[in-house]
Structure 1
Amino acid sequence: MRILGIDPGTAICGFSILDYEGNHFKLVDFGVITTPAKMDLEKRLLHIYDKTHELITKYEPEHMAVEDLFFNNNAKTALSVGQARGVSLLLSAQKNMILASYTPLQVKQSVVGYGRAEKRQVQEMVKIILKMDKIPKPDDAADAIAVAICHGHSYKINSIYK
């Protein structure tokens, strides 16, 4: 299965493309989609839409895994991240992709084995799982990879019990 992992954001949106066959992951691509801070929100969302659409067209993933919104204290940030997340959900529906959404706790549990793991622990496990020389950067891209890994593990398990 080919998975597009998304760590949504309006300033920085992390993405990853992973192939998962058997029990093995292969990293195809990863990075971030960035938008300037002074750009109007609707133009930022359009840019994220266009770049994500390009990724889907280029790599043809069947699955999309998106990190759930983690709401802390800043409602304005939460709303804009939620809107960026909505762009991903829209694209998955338009492209008839299998969509899954995971909380940060689920991602950490799946990748590290501990739901309260620190960001650095998740990044180290991503590096180990994918046999990378170094931790993927920036953090948003590493988070998108972790979301895709979580989906690979979770989808396989959930498929068995259906």
Structure 2
Amino acid sequence: MRILGIDPGLRTLGWGVIESQNGRLRHVANGLCKSQASDDLAARLLSLHRQLDRVIGDFAPDEAAIEQTFVNKDGVATLKLGQARGAALLTLAQGGLRIGEYAPNRVKKTVVGVGHAAKEQVIHMVKLQLPGCEPAGPDAADALAIAICHAYYGGTHGAMRLREVGA
């Protein structure tokens, strides 16, 4: 199964593609979709949509995973993040992808072992779990971590594991 992970952001949206086969993970690609702060909001969202649509076309994922929005003290920043996340969700849905959504703490706990891991820890563990992977930046590493989390919990086998433990 090929999984596209998304770390949503209005300025920088991280993406990462992995393959999961027989319990083994393999890095395929990762990168960053960027929008220009000088553009208006609609143009920025359209730019992210087009870039992400190209990623879907280039790498043909079977499923996708995206980080859930967390609410922080800055309401305006949270709203902008939500709009970027909405544009990403729409693009994934248009691509016909099944989408898993994961809380940031769950992703970190899955990849690092602790729910409040630092970015450096996430990058380190992503590189360990995906040998030869060089993330394009922290946002791409987060996207790869989200894809790894989906490989464990979101696929058919993961869904069956969760039902077995009563989640």
Whole-Å separation in 1 of the counterparts to 2:93 and 2:133: 35
Aligned pair count?
161
Deviation (angstroms), 1:87: 1.1
Q: Residue in 2 aligned with 1:158?
A: 159
Deviation (angstroms), 1:133: 6.6
Q: Superposition pairs for residues 53-72 of structure 1, below 5 Å?
A: 53-72=53-72
Unaligned runs of 5+ in 1: none
Cα shift readout 1:38-82 (whole Å, capped 9, x = no counterpart)? 111100000010011111111111111001112221111111111
The answer to whether residue 111 in structure 2 is matched with residue 148 in structure 1 is no
Cα distance change of structure 1 residues 160 and 129 upon mapping to structure 2, 3 Å threshold: same
Deviation (angstroms), 1:8: 0.4
Q: Superposition pairs for residues 123-134 of structure 1, below 5 Å?
A: 123-132=123-132
Whole-Å separation in 2 of the counterparts to 1:9 and 1:59: 21
Cα distance change of structure 1 residues 131 and 93 upon mapping to structure 2, 3 Å threshold: same
Q: Superposition pairs for residues 5-154 of structure 1, below 5 Å?
A: 5-132=5-132, 136-154=135-153
Whole-Å separation in 2 of the counterparts to 1:117 and 1:133: 20
Deviation (angstroms), 1:161: 4.7
Whole-Å separation in 1 of the counterparts to 2:109 and 2:148: 11
Whole-Å separation in 1 of the counterparts to 2:52 and 2:133: 27
Question: What residue identity is the alignment partner of 1:104?
Answer: P
Whole-Å separation in 1 of the counterparts to 2:31 and 2:133: 16
Deviation (angstroms), 1:30: 0.4
**TM-score (structure 1 length as normaliser):** 0.93
Cα distance change of structure 1 residues 97 and 111 upon mapping to structure 2, 3 Å threshold: same
- Tell me the percent identity: 38
Unaligned runs of 5+ in 2: none
Whole-Å separation in 2 of the counterparts to 1:44 and 1:121: 30
